[in-house]
A = this chain, B = another copy of it.
């Protein structure tokens, strides 16, 4: 199994969710995060004190999938989240050793 972690632009969340649903992937966890990468931040000035805001608001998506679904999920997220501009985000794939559905104590792929 794989844990797919995607950092995307916040306004793309809805599209990505729909694309994943269309690909048959339903569950996900969403966190509001701040990202710092190649996309430039902005400058704020308060009474002459200047602050550079490098950290930009992003959405982090975590999706657990079975091995054979991983490529499909990555494609769905990548396609839906892409604008072609700097700041589109990244997708990380981490091996997932175990998954437990808390309600039933199911383990492994059936719990995904």
Contacts and interface: CB of A to CB of B under 8 A. Distances in A.
Interface of A: 2-3, 5-8, 17, 26-38, 54-55, 58, 60, 62, 64, 74, 77-78, 81-103, 105, 111
A30 B36 contact: yes
B97 A111 contact: no
B92 A64 contact: yes
Given A60-B31, A100-B78, A102-B78, A94 B94 contact: yes
Contacts of A37: 26-28
Contacts of A5: 3, 62
Nearest to A102: B88
A108 to B, nearest CB: 11
Question: Copies of this chain, how many?
Answer: 2
Given A78-B100, A103-B85, A30 B26 contact: no
Nearest to A101: B90
A12 B83 CA distance: 33
Nearest to A35: B29
A96 B102 CA distance: 22
